[in-house]
Chain A
Amino acid sequence: MSTLRKPAGTTIAAHAILITYTLIALFPVFVILINSFKTRRAIFREPLALPNADSFSLIGYQTVFNQGDFFLYFQNSMIVTVVSLTLILLFGAMAAFALAEYGFRGNTLMGLYLALGIMIPIRIGTVAILEMMVSTGLVNTLTALILVYTAQGLPLAVFILSEFMRGVSDDLKNAGRIDGLSEYQIFFRLVLPLVRPAMATVAVFNMIPIWNDLWFPLILAPAEEVKTLTLGSQVFIGQFVTDWNAVLSALSMAILPVMILYVIFSRQLIRGITSGAVK
Protein backbone atom coordinates (compact mmCIF):
# COMPACT_ATOMS: atom_id res chain seq x y z
CA MET A 1 0.00 0.00 0.00
CA SER A 2 2.66 2.40 1.02
CA THR A 3 4.75 1.71 -2.08
CA LEU A 4 1.69 2.23 -4.18
CA ARG A 5 1.02 5.64 -2.69
CA LYS A 6 4.55 6.81 -2.33
CA PRO A 7 7.00 5.76 -4.99
CA ALA A 8 10.57 5.30 -3.74
CA GLY A 9 11.71 8.24 -5.83
CA THR A 10 9.54 10.69 -3.92
CA THR A 11 10.81 9.44 -0.58
CA ILE A 12 14.42 9.73 -1.69
CA ALA A 13 13.79 13.23 -2.99
CA ALA A 14 12.13 14.18 0.31
CA HIS A 15 15.13 12.91 2.28
CA ALA A 16 17.55 14.61 -0.08
CA ILE A 17 15.84 17.98 0.41
CA LEU A 18 15.64 17.57 4.18
CA ILE A 19 19.26 16.46 4.49
CA THR A 20 20.39 19.39 2.35
CA TYR A 21 18.49 21.84 4.49
CA THR A 22 19.68 20.21 7.72
CA LEU A 23 23.26 20.66 6.48
CA ILE A 24 22.59 24.31 5.70
CA ALA A 25 21.11 24.79 9.17
CA LEU A 26 23.95 23.09 11.03
CA PHE A 27 26.95 24.03 8.89
CA PRO A 28 27.78 27.42 10.48
CA VAL A 29 27.49 26.03 14.01
CA PHE A 30 29.68 23.09 13.04
CA VAL A 31 32.35 25.30 11.46
CA ILE A 32 32.50 27.55 14.53
CA LEU A 33 32.75 24.61 16.93
CA ILE A 34 35.48 22.69 15.12
CA ASN A 35 37.60 25.75 14.49
CA SER A 36 37.46 26.86 18.10
CA PHE A 37 39.67 23.86 18.93
CA LYS A 38 42.34 24.61 16.35
CA THR A 39 45.51 26.63 16.18
CA ARG A 40 45.41 29.95 14.43
CA ARG A 41 47.34 28.64 11.48
CA ALA A 42 45.01 25.63 11.04
CA ILE A 43 41.95 27.86 11.25
CA PHE A 44 43.09 29.71 8.16
CA ARG A 45 44.79 26.91 6.27
CA GLU A 46 42.04 24.29 6.47
CA PRO A 47 38.90 25.83 7.93
CA LEU A 48 36.77 22.81 7.15
CA ALA A 49 39.10 20.12 8.56
CA LEU A 50 38.43 18.57 11.94
CA PRO A 51 41.04 19.36 14.58
CA ASN A 52 43.72 16.64 14.72
CA ALA A 53 46.68 16.04 17.00
CA ASP A 54 48.67 18.55 15.03
CA SER A 55 46.20 21.39 14.85
CA PHE A 56 44.46 20.93 18.20
CA SER A 57 44.72 23.92 20.49
CA LEU A 58 42.83 25.43 23.39
CA ILE A 59 44.52 28.80 23.18
CA GLY A 60 41.27 30.56 22.33
CA TYR A 61 39.53 29.18 25.38
CA GLN A 62 42.46 30.24 27.56
CA THR A 63 42.14 33.82 26.32
CA VAL A 64 38.41 33.76 26.95
CA PHE A 65 38.82 32.48 30.49
CA ASN A 66 41.54 34.98 31.29
CA GLN A 67 39.92 38.04 29.76
CA GLY A 68 36.20 37.73 30.07
CA ASP A 69 34.24 36.88 33.16
CA PHE A 70 32.07 34.32 31.43
CA PHE A 71 31.01 32.56 34.60
CA LEU A 72 29.65 35.81 35.98
CA TYR A 73 27.82 36.50 32.70
CA PHE A 74 26.44 33.01 32.71
CA GLN A 75 25.27 33.40 36.29
CA ASN A 76 23.59 36.72 35.49
CA SER A 77 21.78 35.26 32.50
CA MET A 78 20.70 32.31 34.61
CA ILE A 79 19.32 34.52 37.41
CA VAL A 80 17.48 36.81 35.00
CA THR A 81 15.97 33.94 33.02
CA VAL A 82 14.94 31.79 35.98
CA VAL A 83 13.47 34.62 38.09
CA SER A 84 11.63 36.14 35.10
CA LEU A 85 10.18 32.77 34.14
CA THR A 86 9.06 32.11 37.71
CA LEU A 87 7.33 35.48 37.92
CA ILE A 88 5.74 35.13 34.47
CA LEU A 89 4.35 31.72 35.39
CA LEU A 90 3.15 32.68 38.88
CA PHE A 91 1.63 36.07 38.04
CA GLY A 92 0.40 34.87 34.66
CA ALA A 93 -1.32 31.81 36.13
CA MET A 94 -2.93 33.88 38.90
CA ALA A 95 -4.34 36.42 36.44
CA ALA A 96 -5.38 33.68 34.03
CA PHE A 97 -7.23 31.94 36.87
CA ALA A 98 -9.07 35.13 37.79
CA LEU A 99 -10.11 35.64 34.16
CA ALA A 100 -11.09 32.04 33.54
CA GLU A 101 -12.82 31.32 36.83
CA TYR A 102 -14.76 34.37 37.94
CA GLY A 103 -17.43 36.24 36.03
CA PHE A 104 -16.76 39.73 37.34
CA ARG A 105 -17.60 43.00 35.66
CA GLY A 106 -14.97 44.05 33.18
CA ASN A 107 -13.66 40.52 32.74
CA THR A 108 -13.59 40.68 28.93
CA LEU A 109 -12.12 44.15 28.99
CA MET A 110 -9.37 43.04 31.37
CA GLY A 111 -8.65 40.08 29.10
CA LEU A 112 -8.32 42.37 26.08
CA TYR A 113 -6.16 44.81 28.01
CA LEU A 114 -3.76 42.08 29.02
CA ALA A 115 -3.73 40.69 25.46
CA LEU A 116 -2.65 44.02 23.94
CA GLY A 117 0.95 43.23 24.68
CA ILE A 118 0.94 40.11 22.50
CA MET A 119 1.06 42.21 19.35
CA ILE A 120 2.79 45.38 20.56
CA PRO A 121 6.50 44.93 21.19
CA ILE A 122 7.72 46.28 24.54
CA ARG A 123 10.78 47.78 22.81
CA ILE A 124 8.66 50.68 21.55
CA GLY A 125 8.53 51.99 25.13
CA THR A 126 12.29 51.72 25.71
CA VAL A 127 12.91 55.45 26.09
CA ALA A 128 10.40 55.75 28.92
CA ILE A 129 11.48 52.45 30.48
CA LEU A 130 15.07 53.68 30.63
CA GLU A 131 13.93 56.96 32.14
CA MET A 132 11.87 55.11 34.75
CA MET A 133 14.74 52.78 35.65
CA VAL A 134 17.10 55.75 35.98
CA SER A 135 14.74 57.61 38.29
CA THR A 136 14.12 54.55 40.48
CA GLY A 137 17.82 53.73 40.58
CA LEU A 138 17.30 50.34 38.96
CA VAL A 139 19.65 50.96 36.05
CA ASN A 140 22.46 48.42 35.98
CA THR A 141 20.61 45.96 38.16
CA LEU A 142 19.28 42.56 37.23
CA THR A 143 15.95 43.65 38.75
CA ALA A 144 15.40 46.05 35.85
CA LEU A 145 15.82 43.23 33.33
CA ILE A 146 13.63 40.88 35.34
CA LEU A 147 10.81 43.44 35.50
CA VAL A 148 10.98 44.11 31.78
CA TYR A 149 11.01 40.44 30.79
CA THR A 150 8.19 39.66 33.21
CA ALA A 151 6.03 42.41 31.70
CA GLN A 152 6.96 41.23 28.22
CA GLY A 153 6.08 37.60 28.89
CA LEU A 154 2.84 38.10 30.82
CA PRO A 155 0.38 38.80 27.94
CA LEU A 156 0.99 35.55 26.07
CA ALA A 157 1.22 33.61 29.35
CA VAL A 158 -2.17 34.90 30.53
CA PHE A 159 -3.67 34.18 27.12
CA ILE A 160 -2.43 30.59 26.86
CA LEU A 161 -3.01 29.71 30.53
CA SER A 162 -6.54 31.07 30.67
CA GLU A 163 -7.46 28.96 27.63
CA PHE A 164 -6.22 25.91 29.50
CA MET A 165 -7.84 26.85 32.80
CA ARG A 166 -11.26 27.09 31.18
CA GLY A 167 -10.86 23.39 30.53
CA VAL A 168 -10.40 22.45 34.20
CA SER A 169 -13.57 20.78 35.45
CA ASP A 170 -15.94 22.89 37.54
CA ASP A 171 -17.01 19.83 39.54
CA LEU A 172 -13.51 19.46 40.90
CA LYS A 173 -13.31 23.09 42.02
CA ASN A 174 -16.78 23.01 43.53
CA ALA A 175 -15.95 19.80 45.38
CA GLY A 176 -12.97 21.65 46.79
CA ARG A 177 -15.19 24.54 47.85
CA ILE A 178 -17.58 22.18 49.61
CA ASP A 179 -14.60 20.68 51.44
CA GLY A 180 -13.87 24.15 52.73
CA LEU A 181 -10.87 25.07 50.59
CA SER A 182 -10.36 28.79 50.13
CA GLU A 183 -10.12 30.21 46.62
CA TYR A 184 -6.35 30.45 47.06
CA GLN A 185 -6.10 26.81 48.05
CA ILE A 186 -8.23 25.83 45.06
CA PHE A 187 -5.86 27.71 42.78
CA PHE A 188 -2.60 26.42 44.26
CA ARG A 189 -3.64 22.86 45.15
CA LEU A 190 -6.18 21.92 42.51
CA VAL A 191 -5.77 24.05 39.41
CA LEU A 192 -2.03 24.70 39.18
CA PRO A 193 -1.03 21.03 39.14
CA LEU A 194 -3.56 20.38 36.38
CA VAL A 195 -2.24 23.05 34.02
CA ARG A 196 1.39 22.05 34.43
CA PRO A 197 1.80 21.06 30.74
CA ALA A 198 0.59 24.49 29.65
CA MET A 199 2.97 26.12 32.13
CA ALA A 200 5.84 24.17 30.59
CA THR A 201 4.83 25.42 27.15
CA VAL A 202 4.78 29.02 28.36
CA ALA A 203 8.16 28.54 30.03
CA VAL A 204 9.92 27.24 26.95
CA PHE A 205 8.36 29.93 24.76
CA ASN A 206 9.72 32.65 27.01
CA MET A 207 13.03 31.10 27.93
CA ILE A 208 14.84 31.48 24.60
CA PRO A 209 13.92 35.12 23.84
CA ILE A 210 14.88 36.16 27.38
CA TRP A 211 18.19 34.33 27.31
CA ASN A 212 19.06 35.65 23.85
CA ASP A 213 17.95 39.27 24.24
CA LEU A 214 20.56 41.89 23.46
CA TRP A 215 18.49 45.09 23.40
CA PHE A 216 17.55 45.48 27.07
CA PRO A 217 20.85 44.32 28.60
CA LEU A 218 22.61 46.77 26.27
CA ILE A 219 20.40 49.67 27.33
CA LEU A 220 19.38 48.92 30.92
CA ALA A 221 22.27 46.92 32.33
CA PRO A 222 25.53 47.38 30.44
CA ALA A 223 27.75 47.44 33.56
CA GLU A 224 30.36 44.72 33.86
CA GLU A 225 28.95 43.05 36.96
CA VAL A 226 25.40 42.68 35.58
CA LYS A 227 26.20 41.76 31.96
CA THR A 228 24.25 38.83 30.59
CA LEU A 229 25.95 36.15 28.55
CA THR A 230 24.52 37.49 25.27
CA LEU A 231 25.74 41.02 25.89
CA GLY A 232 28.99 39.74 27.41
CA SER A 233 29.84 37.72 24.31
CA GLN A 234 28.87 40.61 22.05
CA VAL A 235 31.19 43.01 23.86
CA PHE A 236 33.95 40.45 24.22
CA ILE A 237 33.87 39.53 20.53
CA GLY A 238 33.79 43.19 19.59
CA GLN A 239 37.03 43.71 21.49
CA PHE A 240 38.82 40.68 20.11
CA VAL A 241 37.82 40.87 16.47
CA THR A 242 41.30 40.10 15.28
CA ASP A 243 41.96 37.29 17.74
CA TRP A 244 40.20 34.56 15.81
CA ASN A 245 40.90 31.86 18.37
CA ALA A 246 39.30 33.89 21.14
CA VAL A 247 36.31 34.90 19.00
CA LEU A 248 35.59 31.35 17.87
CA SER A 249 35.94 30.04 21.43
CA ALA A 250 33.70 32.75 22.84
CA LEU A 251 31.06 31.93 20.21
CA SER A 252 31.25 28.24 21.04
CA MET A 253 30.87 28.98 24.72
CA ALA A 254 27.83 31.12 24.02
CA ILE A 255 26.31 28.37 21.89
CA LEU A 256 26.86 25.65 24.49
CA PRO A 257 24.34 26.61 27.23
CA VAL A 258 21.53 27.21 24.74
CA MET A 259 22.24 23.90 23.05
CA ILE A 260 22.12 22.09 26.39
CA LEU A 261 18.82 23.77 27.27
CA TYR A 262 17.50 22.91 23.81
CA VAL A 263 18.46 19.26 24.08
CA ILE A 264 16.71 19.07 27.46
CA PHE A 265 13.59 20.95 26.42
CA SER A 266 13.32 20.39 22.66
CA ARG A 267 10.51 17.86 23.04
CA GLN A 268 8.53 20.21 25.23
CA LEU A 269 9.18 23.12 22.89
CA ILE A 270 8.20 21.30 19.73
CA ARG A 271 5.17 19.77 21.42
CA GLY A 272 4.21 23.23 22.67
CA ILE A 273 4.42 24.78 19.21
CA THR A 274 2.70 21.92 17.43
CA SER A 275 -0.04 21.43 20.03
CA GLY A 276 -1.67 24.58 18.75
CA ALA A 277 -0.87 26.70 21.76
CA VAL A 278 -0.32 29.59 19.35
CA LYS A 279 -3.54 29.95 17.48
Chain B
Amino acid sequence: MKLTPSVLELDWTEVEGKITRFIKDYVEKAKANGIVLGLSGGIDSSTVAALSAKAIGGNKVLGLMLPEKETYNPKDMKHAKLVAEKFGLKTEAIDITPALEALQRTIPIFDAGDKLSKGNLKARMRMLYIYYHANKLNLIVCGSSDKSETMMGYFTKWGDAAADISPIMDLYKTQVKKLASHLGIPKEIVEKPPSPTLWPGQTAEEELGIKYETLDLILYGLEHFMKTEDIAEQLGLQKDLVEGVKERWLKMEHKRRMPLTTKLQYRTVGFDFRIPFTK
Protein backbone atom coordinates (compact mmCIF):
# COMPACT_ATOMS: atom_id res chain seq x y z
CA MET B 1 0.00 0.00 0.00
CA LYS B 2 1.27 3.44 -0.91
CA LEU B 3 0.70 5.95 1.86
CA THR B 4 -0.18 9.14 0.02
CA PRO B 5 -2.84 11.73 0.90
CA SER B 6 -5.03 10.21 -1.80
CA VAL B 7 -5.73 7.15 0.43
CA LEU B 8 -7.78 9.46 2.63
CA GLU B 9 -10.01 10.59 -0.24
CA LEU B 10 -13.63 9.47 -0.02
CA ASP B 11 -16.76 10.27 -1.98
CA TRP B 12 -17.95 13.11 0.25
CA THR B 13 -21.49 13.11 -1.10
CA GLU B 14 -21.76 9.43 -0.24
CA VAL B 15 -20.23 10.02 3.20
CA GLU B 16 -22.69 12.84 3.87
CA GLY B 17 -25.55 10.55 2.85
CA LYS B 18 -24.39 7.72 5.09
CA ILE B 19 -23.86 9.90 8.14
CA THR B 20 -27.12 11.82 7.81
CA ARG B 21 -29.07 8.58 7.33
CA PHE B 22 -27.34 7.18 10.40
CA ILE B 23 -28.24 10.21 12.54
CA LYS B 24 -31.86 10.32 11.36
CA ASP B 25 -32.33 6.60 11.86
CA TYR B 26 -30.89 6.69 15.38
CA VAL B 27 -32.95 9.68 16.50
CA GLU B 28 -36.12 8.08 15.13
CA LYS B 29 -35.47 4.66 16.66
CA ALA B 30 -34.68 6.27 20.02
CA LYS B 31 -37.95 8.22 19.76
CA ALA B 32 -36.04 11.38 20.71
CA ASN B 33 -37.18 14.92 19.98
CA GLY B 34 -33.89 15.88 18.37
CA ILE B 35 -30.21 16.40 19.04
CA VAL B 36 -28.13 18.42 21.45
CA LEU B 37 -24.43 19.08 20.97
CA GLY B 38 -21.72 21.33 22.24
CA LEU B 39 -21.00 24.00 19.65
CA SER B 40 -17.47 25.30 20.14
CA GLY B 41 -16.94 27.04 16.83
CA GLY B 42 -14.30 24.43 15.96
CA ILE B 43 -14.30 22.23 12.90
CA ASP B 44 -15.53 18.97 14.46
CA SER B 45 -18.58 20.34 16.25
CA SER B 46 -19.42 22.58 13.28
CA THR B 47 -19.35 19.54 11.00
CA VAL B 48 -21.48 17.43 13.30
CA ALA B 49 -23.94 20.32 13.72
CA ALA B 50 -24.25 20.70 9.96
CA LEU B 51 -24.75 16.96 9.47
CA SER B 52 -27.35 16.85 12.24
CA ALA B 53 -29.26 19.76 10.70
CA LYS B 54 -29.19 18.10 7.30
CA ALA B 55 -30.37 14.83 8.84
CA ILE B 56 -33.30 16.00 10.96
CA GLY B 57 -33.69 19.73 10.32
CA GLY B 58 -31.92 22.56 12.12
CA ASN B 59 -34.97 23.35 14.23
CA LYS B 60 -34.51 19.99 15.97
CA VAL B 61 -30.84 20.56 16.73
CA LEU B 62 -29.80 22.46 19.84
CA GLY B 63 -26.25 23.82 19.81
CA LEU B 64 -24.97 24.68 23.28
CA MET B 65 -22.23 27.30 23.38
CA LEU B 66 -20.43 26.79 26.67
CA PRO B 67 -17.60 29.29 27.08
CA GLU B 68 -15.63 29.96 30.25
CA LYS B 69 -13.51 32.96 31.02
CA GLU B 70 -9.97 31.52 30.78
CA THR B 71 -10.33 30.20 27.25
CA TYR B 72 -13.01 32.63 26.07
CA ASN B 73 -12.36 33.67 22.50
CA PRO B 74 -14.84 35.96 20.73
CA LYS B 75 -13.76 34.45 17.42
CA ASP B 76 -14.91 30.97 18.49
CA MET B 77 -18.28 32.36 19.58
CA LYS B 78 -18.59 34.15 16.26
CA HIS B 79 -17.82 30.94 14.41
CA ALA B 80 -20.34 28.95 16.46
CA LYS B 81 -23.01 31.55 15.69
CA LEU B 82 -22.06 31.55 12.03
CA VAL B 83 -22.63 27.79 11.81
CA ALA B 84 -25.86 28.01 13.80
CA GLU B 85 -27.18 30.66 11.47
CA LYS B 86 -26.10 28.93 8.30
CA PHE B 87 -27.70 25.59 9.23
CA GLY B 88 -30.69 27.02 11.11
CA LEU B 89 -29.84 25.54 14.52
CA LYS B 90 -31.38 26.50 17.83
CA THR B 91 -28.72 27.77 20.20
CA GLU B 92 -28.19 28.55 23.83
CA ALA B 93 -25.11 30.26 25.26
CA ILE B 94 -24.25 29.55 28.88
CA ASP B 95 -21.19 30.86 30.66
CA ILE B 96 -19.92 27.89 32.67
CA THR B 97 -17.39 29.96 34.66
CA PRO B 98 -19.51 30.28 37.86
CA ALA B 99 -20.19 26.55 37.94
CA LEU B 100 -16.52 25.74 37.35
CA GLU B 101 -15.35 28.10 40.07
CA ALA B 102 -17.91 26.75 42.52
CA LEU B 103 -16.80 23.20 41.75
CA GLN B 104 -13.13 24.04 42.14
CA ARG B 105 -13.80 25.66 45.53
CA THR B 106 -15.37 22.47 46.86
CA ILE B 107 -12.46 20.23 45.94
CA PRO B 108 -10.04 20.22 48.90
CA ILE B 109 -7.10 19.08 46.77
CA PHE B 110 -7.86 21.42 43.87
CA ASP B 111 -4.61 22.58 42.26
CA ALA B 112 -4.93 25.51 39.85
CA GLY B 113 -1.41 24.83 38.59
CA ASP B 114 -2.28 21.33 37.37
CA LYS B 115 -3.35 22.30 33.87
CA LEU B 116 -4.54 18.90 32.75
CA SER B 117 -6.72 18.00 35.74
CA LYS B 118 -8.18 21.48 35.72
CA GLY B 119 -8.70 21.44 31.96
CA ASN B 120 -10.49 18.11 32.14
CA LEU B 121 -12.96 19.62 34.63
CA LYS B 122 -14.01 22.02 31.87
CA ALA B 123 -14.68 19.26 29.38
CA ARG B 124 -16.62 17.28 31.98
CA MET B 125 -18.57 20.35 33.08
CA ARG B 126 -19.64 20.91 29.47
CA MET B 127 -20.72 17.28 29.38
CA LEU B 128 -22.98 17.91 32.42
CA TYR B 129 -24.69 20.83 30.72
CA ILE B 130 -25.18 18.90 27.50
CA TYR B 131 -26.60 15.82 29.25
CA TYR B 132 -28.91 17.92 31.38
CA HIS B 133 -30.47 19.32 28.22
CA ALA B 134 -30.61 15.84 26.70
CA ASN B 135 -32.51 14.44 29.69
CA LYS B 136 -34.79 17.41 30.15
CA LEU B 137 -35.71 17.82 26.47
CA ASN B 138 -35.47 14.17 25.33
CA LEU B 139 -32.59 14.82 22.99
CA ILE B 140 -29.79 12.60 21.71
CA VAL B 141 -26.27 13.78 22.53
CA CYS B 142 -24.25 13.94 19.36
CA GLY B 143 -20.51 13.73 19.99
CA SER B 144 -17.90 15.45 17.82
CA SER B 145 -14.94 13.12 18.28
CA ASP B 146 -13.01 12.30 15.12
CA LYS B 147 -10.94 9.21 14.40
CA SER B 148 -7.53 10.88 14.82
CA GLU B 149 -8.18 12.12 18.33
CA THR B 150 -10.08 8.98 19.31
CA MET B 151 -7.23 6.71 18.23
CA MET B 152 -4.71 8.94 19.99
CA GLY B 153 -6.86 9.13 23.12
CA TYR B 154 -6.64 12.90 22.71
CA PHE B 155 -9.83 13.71 24.56
CA THR B 156 -11.16 13.88 28.10
CA LYS B 157 -12.49 10.57 29.39
CA TRP B 158 -16.20 11.05 30.19
CA GLY B 159 -15.84 14.62 28.96
CA ASP B 160 -15.97 15.76 25.35
CA ALA B 161 -16.16 12.17 24.08
CA ALA B 162 -19.24 11.39 26.20
CA ALA B 163 -22.15 11.06 23.79
CA ASP B 164 -24.95 8.81 22.63
CA ILE B 165 -23.69 8.72 19.05
CA SER B 166 -20.47 9.92 17.44
CA PRO B 167 -21.23 10.41 13.76
CA ILE B 168 -17.73 11.42 12.57
CA MET B 169 -15.69 9.02 14.70
CA ASP B 170 -14.71 6.99 11.64
CA LEU B 171 -13.21 10.00 9.84
CA TYR B 172 -9.65 11.22 10.39
CA LYS B 173 -9.22 14.94 11.08
CA THR B 174 -7.98 15.73 7.57
CA GLN B 175 -11.04 13.91 6.23
CA VAL B 176 -13.31 15.92 8.52
CA LYS B 177 -11.80 19.04 6.97
CA LYS B 178 -12.74 17.81 3.50
CA LEU B 179 -16.22 16.86 4.59
CA ALA B 180 -16.62 20.26 6.29
CA SER B 181 -15.71 22.06 3.07
CA HIS B 182 -18.10 19.82 1.15
CA LEU B 183 -20.88 20.74 3.60
CA GLY B 184 -20.20 24.45 3.20
CA ILE B 185 -18.67 25.11 6.63
CA PRO B 186 -17.02 28.57 6.34
CA LYS B 187 -13.36 28.48 5.34
CA GLU B 188 -12.18 30.36 8.42
CA ILE B 189 -13.50 27.51 10.60
CA VAL B 190 -12.05 24.77 8.40
CA GLU B 191 -8.61 26.35 8.40
CA LYS B 192 -8.48 27.33 12.08
CA PRO B 193 -5.96 25.28 14.12
CA PRO B 194 -7.99 22.69 16.10
CA SER B 195 -8.02 23.02 19.90
CA PRO B 196 -9.84 21.28 22.76
CA THR B 197 -9.85 24.71 24.53
CA LEU B 198 -8.98 23.35 27.96
CA TRP B 199 -6.48 26.15 28.59
CA PRO B 200 -5.56 29.37 26.80
CA GLY B 201 -3.49 29.03 23.65
CA GLN B 202 -3.79 25.23 23.50
CA THR B 203 -3.61 23.75 20.00
CA ALA B 204 -3.97 20.10 19.17
CA GLU B 205 -1.09 19.79 16.73
CA GLU B 206 1.36 21.45 19.07
CA GLU B 207 0.31 19.22 21.93
CA LEU B 208 0.33 16.03 19.89
CA GLY B 209 3.67 17.10 18.46
CA ILE B 210 2.71 16.28 14.91
CA LYS B 211 0.75 17.73 12.00
CA TYR B 212 -2.59 16.07 11.31
CA GLU B 213 -1.60 15.54 7.66
CA THR B 214 1.22 13.27 8.86
CA LEU B 215 -0.56 11.78 11.86
CA ASP B 216 -3.53 10.70 9.78
CA LEU B 217 -1.35 8.84 7.30
CA ILE B 218 0.45 7.07 10.15
CA LEU B 219 -2.88 6.10 11.72
CA TYR B 220 -4.23 4.99 8.36
CA GLY B 221 -1.19 2.74 7.97
CA LEU B 222 -1.66 1.30 11.47
CA GLU B 223 -5.37 0.77 10.77
CA HIS B 224 -4.35 -1.28 7.73
CA PHE B 225 -1.92 -3.46 9.71
CA MET B 226 1.20 -1.85 8.21
CA LYS B 227 4.51 -2.25 10.02
CA THR B 228 5.88 0.87 11.73
CA GLU B 229 9.13 0.65 9.76
CA ASP B 230 7.26 0.60 6.45
CA ILE B 231 5.14 3.58 7.47
CA ALA B 232 8.23 5.52 8.57
CA GLU B 233 10.09 4.73 5.38
CA GLN B 234 7.21 5.68 3.11
CA LEU B 235 6.54 8.95 4.88
CA GLY B 236 10.20 9.80 5.37
CA LEU B 237 9.83 9.88 9.16
CA GLN B 238 11.90 8.67 12.08
CA LYS B 239 10.80 5.18 13.12
CA ASP B 240 10.62 6.35 16.75
CA LEU B 241 7.97 8.90 15.87
CA VAL B 242 5.76 6.29 14.22
CA GLU B 243 6.32 3.86 17.07
CA GLY B 244 5.39 6.58 19.54
CA VAL B 245 2.09 7.11 17.72
CA LYS B 246 1.42 3.36 17.72
CA GLU B 247 2.24 3.05 21.40
CA ARG B 248 -0.04 5.93 22.32
CA TRP B 249 -2.87 4.52 20.19
CA LEU B 250 -2.69 1.12 21.92
CA LYS B 251 -2.16 2.54 25.41
CA MET B 252 -5.35 4.62 25.18
CA GLU B 253 -7.76 1.71 24.69
CA HIS B 254 -8.97 2.23 28.28
CA LYS B 255 -10.49 5.54 27.16
CA ARG B 256 -12.43 3.95 24.33
CA ARG B 257 -14.07 0.98 26.02
CA MET B 258 -16.42 0.14 28.83
CA PRO B 259 -14.50 0.00 32.13
CA LEU B 260 -12.79 -3.33 32.54
CA THR B 261 -14.08 -5.76 35.10
CA THR B 262 -13.02 -9.29 35.92
CA LYS B 263 -15.17 -12.10 34.67
CA LEU B 264 -17.05 -13.91 37.43
CA GLN B 265 -20.30 -15.11 35.97
CA TYR B 266 -22.14 -16.55 32.98
CA ARG B 267 -22.41 -13.41 30.81
CA THR B 268 -20.54 -10.24 31.66
CA VAL B 269 -20.88 -6.58 30.66
CA GLY B 270 -18.08 -5.57 28.30
CA PHE B 271 -17.04 -9.19 27.68
CA ASP B 272 -19.70 -11.44 26.30
CA PHE B 273 -23.04 -9.73 26.49
CA ARG B 274 -23.71 -9.05 22.80
CA ILE B 275 -26.78 -6.90 22.68
CA PRO B 276 -27.76 -4.70 19.76
CA PHE B 277 -28.33 -0.97 20.15
CA THR B 278 -31.85 0.51 19.87
CA LYS B 279 -34.52 -1.70 18.33
| A-B complex is real | no
